[in-house]
Amino acid sequence: MRRPMIGLTSYAQHVRFGRNDMMAGMLPMTYVKAVHATGGRALLITPDDPGTDVLECLDGIVFTGGGDVDPAHYGAEPHPETEVDAVRDAAELLLMRAALAADLPVLGVCRGLQVMAVATGGALHQHLPDLINHDRHRAHAGTDPLAASAGDYGRHDVVTTPGSLACDLLGRRTSVNSFHHQAVADPGEFVATGWCPDDRVVEVIEHPGRGFALGVQWHPERTTDLRVFAALVQAALVNRAGPADRVAPVPGEVPAAV
């Protein structure tokens, strides 16, 4: 039997191959490796031809990290530090709403968590230093986020709500990396279940009305702690099995490839 098929949203970027400059569908391989390491099979979804039909061949989907969501989507004027990608926003907001409506297992990573909130009527803080008076949630100035190693990221603890999916998967307290300058102000249809204890920045959201819809503000794919990816793959296996064959996923268990 095939592994569960996990979609990964990606972005279009000009790159240079040899002497040629061209537009390419881009995503760090750390996402692909995280899906494969936890028993899934990765499928990249580019933003150039938006459509929900791709969801028909998926067992789960990861909304990946990247740039800022256009504040026009939540009725705000852009901050000077906000940088948007209108094409990616359109594609991912469409996919997010359709995936949630279909109850497809969904994991949001960094920007992906923010897309979750905005797609369901929520809003973002556009520039955290204006709110919390420090910039320790992202890497040092000048660091390339696509080339950064884990050591280039901020690091802090996250505390979770007892009884939440986040707590079941990660425990009451966990240490995470950090690379973002925006954060959730209003989670929309989601519920915030994890925070940085130092400044109360939202770090985890989850949807109480869906089988598996979890967003994390950090980048687990750049660490050895892949519990949220493992949980997504397990939920994808359950989703693919159908109601008659479903079994409850074990929090934190890494499923074997099938």
- Say if residues 69 and 111 touch (Cβ distance below 8 Å): yes
Residue 111, H or E segment: helix 111-119
Contact assessment for residue 70 and residue 87, using Cβ atoms and an 8 Å cutoff: no
Active-site residue, 253 included = no
Catalytic residue, candidates 92, 203, 206, 221: 221
Which of these, 103, 13, 7, lies nearest to 64 by C-alpha position? 7
Cα–Cα distance between 217 and 83 in angstroms, integer? 18
207 annotated active-site? no
188: left (phi over 0), alpha (psi -120 to 50) or beta: left
Using an 8 Å Cβ cutoff, are 98 and 61 in contact? no
What are the residues whose beta carbons fall under 8 Å from the beta carbon of 209, sequence distance 6 or more? 189
Which of 58, 108, 68 is closest to 88 using CA atoms?
68
Distance between CA atoms of residues 25 and 170, nearest Å: 32
What is the bridge-based pairing of β-strands 11-17 and 173-178?
unpaired
Count CB neighbours of 243 within 10 A: 6
> Which of the following is catalytic: 137, 180, 207, 219?
219
> Which residue in the list 73, 92, 110, 167 is annotated as catalytic?
110
The yes-or-no answer on residue 110 being catalytic is: yes
Q: Which tokens go with 250?
A: 């074990």
* Residues with catalytic roles: 110, 219, 221
